[in-house]
Amino acid sequence: MKKTKLVLGLFLIFSTLGGMSQNKIELATKVNKGSISFASEDGNFKFGFGGRVYMDAAAYFDDKTDLGSGSEFRDVRLLMKATLWKKWDAKINVGFADGAVALKDVFLQYNIDKNSLVRAGHFLEPFGIEQTESSKTTRFMHASSTVEAFRPGRNLGVAYELWGQKYFYTIGLFGSDTNNKAAGDEGFSLNSRLAYAPINSNGNLLHFGVSGIYRTADPAFNSDGESVMKSIRYRSRAATHIERRRFIDANVIGAENQVKLNFEMIAASGPISVQGEFVDAKVNRNKGFEDYHSKGWYAQFGWLIKGGDYKYTMKSARLTKPGPGSVELLTRYNETDLNDSDAGILGGKQKDITLGCTWYVNHNILMRFNFTNVDLDAYALNGEENFNMIQTRLQFAF
């Protein structure tokens, strides 16, 4: 599998370089919304560079746990993308947060027509709204604890996407991420997401969607290299990243596979929007173990007090980033329950509510402010407690 990953990475790079070397092409430099790109006159070839920097700070008001207030570079990335012969897109997105190099989106994409494509490489598995949305455009500083606990993240795979005026559909087959170095046959997943927007005109939107994942468990070995029972783990931070501890954590041993369902909804009218997701997760376990079941949901409300109406794109089936100069007020309520007494696993339950404000200064810069109250039950990391936090972000992306 490691050889396959290396070959895939080299293929993406040399495909891009090969397109440049076959013919002498004159490229014109363009700057659009602060991003630099180079394009041929006929539009067959385009090359662009980008990046992002998130500077975060957080102050925690403790209850039982001594939380560590502070600041960090939440994300630092460099991006290279290319379009070859109009039909092929390649993207290499590398992260440098936490002093480590990590591959993010690294893929090759074939655009079948203006409404469908096939993508292969390392990218986000389709599962709901927040899981597939860039952190540049998510409404809050941190993903909801429900999405963080159950999201599949980025993995190596292939996916097909199709969309029309009122629908979006994608299906994919995935292995593991690029950091998987375990011996044995790695797990795989089959994913699908379907969204339908019966109302999408004149500033009004109503969107419903459903996603599903079937994934087998990865192999597990002890320190002596001997095979042990497989496990699947769900866990989440407390709606923040600077404080790294996971306050709810369920490690399900004896796992064979997992099945996750996501139900999503978006509604918008002018400057008002509502969005929500519900996730139901089940781990099927070996004989002698009770199957494990957990769930979570969030609902969020947005109000553009400056900047016009909310916009929506069917190509990704979600709301787009508000325009420059916009000011958005936000609130989100979230519950994530990792307790299943029948299965003998009590991973904790978290409830949190966040109030936020985002100023979209221009196309490249935005500022966020979030206030969050977190309520944890007796089975959380340090037992029952309740604490508050204030978080801010200065974000630059091009």
Distance in angstroms (rounded) separating the CA atoms of residues 133 and 394: 19
Distance in angstroms (rounded) separating the CA atoms of residues 281 and 294: 5
**CATH number of the domain to which 124 belongs:** 2.40.160.10
CA torsion angle 321 322 327 328 (round to 10): -60
What token pair was written down for 320? 């787009």
The residue count for the chain: 398
Distance in angstroms (rounded) separating the CA atoms of residues 179 and 157: 14
Residue with the two structure tokens 């990218």: 123
- Is residue 176 within 8 Å of 186, Cβ to Cβ? yes
Burial zone of 4 (CB within 10 Å; 0-12 exposed, 13-18 middle, 19+ buried): exposed
- Is residue 175 within 8 Å of 153, Cβ to Cβ? no
Least Cα distance to 338 among 127, 132, 145 occurs for 145
How many domains are contained in the chain? 1
Question: Which residues have a Cβ under 8 Å from the Cβ of 216 and sit 6 or more positions away?
Answer: 187, 188, 189, 256, 257
Distance in angstroms (rounded) separating the CA atoms of residues 308 and 360: 13
Least Cα distance to 306 among 235, 372, 359, 253 occurs for 359
Distance in angstroms (rounded) separating the CA atoms of residues 383 and 172: 39
pLDDT 10s digit of each residue in the chain, 398 long?
Answer: 444 444 444 444 445 445 444 556 778 888 877 778 888 888 889 999 999 999 999 999 989 999 999 999 999 999 999 999 999 999 999 999 888 899 999 999 999 999 999 999 999 999 999 999 999 999 999 999 999 999 999 999 999 999 999 999 999 999 987 766 666 678 999 999 999 999 999 889 999 999 999 999 998 887 777 788 999 999 999 999 999 999 999 999 999 999 999 999 999 999 999 999 999 999 999 999 999 999 999 999 999 999 999 999 999 999 999 999 999 999 999 999 999 999 999 999 999 999 999 999 999 999 999 999 999 999 999 999 999 999 999 999 99
- Is residue 209 within 8 Å of 128, Cβ to Cβ? yes
SS3 category, 4: helix
Residue with the two structure tokens 């002890």: 222
What token pair was written down for 98? 């936490």
Look up the domain containing 142 and give its range.
2-397
